[in-house]
Structure 1
């Protein structure tokens, strides 16, 4: 009797355990399916399609040059006895920059002056004699020619003595000092280089097929590597009509507007010339585009699913691309993670 009692208890317990195990298995199966669905969804970075103005730019590199630059040279030879300016000093046109030992040239000037004064007085005395017919006209003419020649010799000597005071030919900044006190200078030897940093230019060499895109007065953005956080404005001042046969390029000269005075000649600069603009254009970031062999595409998100769209692109401006066909400004496109997508892939969206 006790046996049957214990057996019935065991059967009830076993049945309860079986039912409990069946419920647990079904719940585990549902959880696994949900987890599998979550795992099948690929996380991607997305961004909304934008509208705005997009600019077509020709980009290039160049070196800044001063529009006004002049070497300062010695016009007479002599020993350099005094330097009055240093590199970085701002000077005016005609300002004395250095002095040469001028004693020898001063004496030569005084001698030439004395000879001219003697000849001038002799000429004046004989002019009175000519009026009294006491001197031949030919002799008088020779005296006049001699006085004029000595006057010219005196002016040259005076000019040479003045050249011992070396002056600035233009206003600007001393960019280079090439001599030291005590140097013996020869004629045409360079002492300084003066530049005007307020008048900066650069030359851009452009492929000939782009000649129709440029015109005088167009604006450009200038970025100097030495000042990466600043953008300067420039305008096209002249365009060479000649094509270089070796390079197939033509020269475009731009004038830079630097109101701050921070740019310097010799700086390496990056140039972007705007030659076209599309207003109210549909745009996406460059990284959204998949550039394949024969077509370009991107992925658009529709109800949590990635859909591949074939697109036609227009202007590329730095990090943005104009989309002519394929998307609208209401679409959201994938910018991160699209390399692992296929049309119809489930995705989890994150702000790109």
Structure 2
């Protein structure tokens, strides 16, 4: 009787252990791995050649005195005060005037102007007489010579007087104006001011020779600077050297940058991204979602709660994303987080 009881007890224990193991097995089979997914839609992708450098103005001029004279800094009509650093100036605007009464008198401008008028009247008179036979060809030629000499003498005097009015050579901004006390004598050759135009900037870049086939004239360039975190300025390739430097294995190019908002300043260090290739309406995925294996690259997609491993072929890529040429299609649900522990046909729980 005792033996029967022991046998029954053992069977009950065995049944309880078996039931417990089956319950744990069922729990294990129901575990779902949490993942996040994104639905694949057609996108564009671009590849850039990145480089850095310092920008400089496309036009600048240091203006020096061509004469000796008394220094007179002119008033800027836009500010009501003497011209100063940072002032915008127009081409031909008088910035500084040099005064020298003795020099002006020696030009004899009024006398030369009167002499020109007399010689012109005499020439016209001689032409009229020549047509009527009143003067010889020699007399007419002499009148022409007198007129030409008077004309050149007057024009040269005007040119010399114009040097007393120092003007902006082009529209731009004053970036340097050495201090000179108003009323002091300035010697010939002294620098008076410097003007820059930086609505268009330039940058010299040297690129590895492997990029030579990818770089063309007028190619789009995106410009960024650490001071302009939210702004991207556009430029283009304006010049390309066909020669490869034998020491650095690079070729030189010049970037022209549209800086009409004047967000950049000459001398700034910038980053330039040259657009070398672009594709539109293609499948693009984040690079971090790809698992690299010996037999190729794979990603995971989800359908009906099951993760499926997909082998892919990739194409164009940049720093963040990559193009998928084969293995995925539009509207696939790509696993973007939680894929590290997945296996093919793993059960998943999609969380957003």
TM bin, normalised by shorter chain, reads 0.5 to 0.7
Equivalent residues, number: 297
**TM-score, scaled to structure 2:** 0.67
Change beyond 3 A, Cα 1:294–1:68: farther
What do residues 272-321 of structure 1 show as CA deviations (whole Å, max 9, x unaligned)? Answer: 33233334322112221234577433223344343433322111145321
Secondary structure at the aligned position of 2:85 is classed as coil
Q: 218-227 vs 167-176, which deviates more?
A: 218-227
Q: 1:70 aligns with which of 36, 42, 61?
A: 61
Q: Report the Cα offset of residue 51 of structure 1.
A: 1.8
| Aligned residue in 2 for 1:86 | 84
Secondary structure at the aligned position of 1:254 is classed as strand
Output the CA distance in 2 between the equivalents of 1:52 and 1:310.
20
Q: 47-56 vs 176-185, which deviates more?
A: 176-185
- Say whether 1:107 aligns with 2:102: yes
CA RMSD of aligned residues (A): 4.0
Change beyond 3 A, Cα 1:79–1:302: same
Change beyond 3 A, Cα 1:184–1:113: closer
| Aligned residue in 2 for 1:324 | 325
List aligned pairs for 1:96-135, cutoff 5 A.
Answer: 96-100=94-98, 102-103=99-100, 106-108=101-103, 110=105
| Aligned residue in 2 for 1:231 | 232
Q: 2:43 aligns with which of 52, 71, 90?
A: 52
Larger radius of gyration: 1
| Aligned residue in 2 for 1:167 | 167
List aligned pairs for 1:1-352, cutoff 5 A.
Answer: 36-37=28-29, 40-76=31-67, 80-82=71-73, 84-100=82-98, 102-103=99-100, 106-108=101-103, 110=105, 163-181=163-181, 187-258=188-259, 260-291=261-292, 295-351=296-352
Secondary structure at the aligned position of 1:287 is classed as helix
Unpaired segments ≥5 residues, structure 1: 1-18, 121-147
What do residues 112-131 of structure 1 show as CA deviations (whole Å, max 9, x unaligned)? Answer: 759x99xx9xxxxxxxxxxx
What do residues 198-236 of structure 1 show as CA deviations (whole Å, max 9, x unaligned)? Answer: 223333332211111122232233334322222333233
Output the CA distance in 2 between the equivalents of 1:303 and 1:184.
90
Output the CA distance in 1 between the equivalents of 2:187 and 2:316.
59
Q: Report the Cα offset of residue 250 of structure 1.
A: 1.9
Output the CA distance in 1 between the equivalents of 2:161 and 2:186.
15
Change beyond 3 A, Cα 1:187–1:305: farther
Secondary structure at the aligned position of 1:86 is classed as coil
Unpaired segments ≥5 residues, structure 2: 1-11, 75-81, 116-148
User: Is the CA contact (8 Å cut-off) linking 2:198 and 2:259 kept in structure 1?
Assistant: no
